Homo-oligomer: A and B are copies of this chain.
């Protein structure tokens, strides 16, 4: 058993991506952000579909079509493959913790 809200490193210089399960079919990871955002021009363009679930904290995501979405605890979102997106804001105080499921 692993608790996703515990064992958070104190000094998060970069976003932390931690693989929980990886098979041919899926990749489940924990992501921890602390005030991190993606670089201005650095869109995620992923070959796999992604389902994200925000467990703790707050974040705002932007999409290439100009739309943005604000997320808080319990919010989940499906991001289809190759829908370009990036994090434009995460809460500066305390960590923002996600579970992310990547699937074909």
Task: Give the number of times this chain occurs in the complex, counting copies.
Answer: 2
Give the shortest distance, in Å, between A75 (CB) and chain B (any CB).
Answer: 5
With A26-B26, A104-B25 known as contacts, the answer to whether A2 contacts B75 (CB < 8 A) is yes
Q: Which residues of B contact A76 (CB under 8 A)?
A: 1-4, 20, 99
With A28-B101, A99-B99 known as contacts, the answer to whether A1 contacts B77 (CB < 8 A) is yes
Q: Which residues of B contact A77 (CB under 8 A)?
A: 1-2
Give the shortest distance, in Å, between A98 (CB) and chain B (any CB).
Answer: 11
The 10 A-B pairs at the shortest CB distance, nearest first, are namely A5-B74, A3-B74, A25-B25, A26-B103, A4-B74, A1-B77, A25-B103, A3-B75, A2-B76, A25-B104
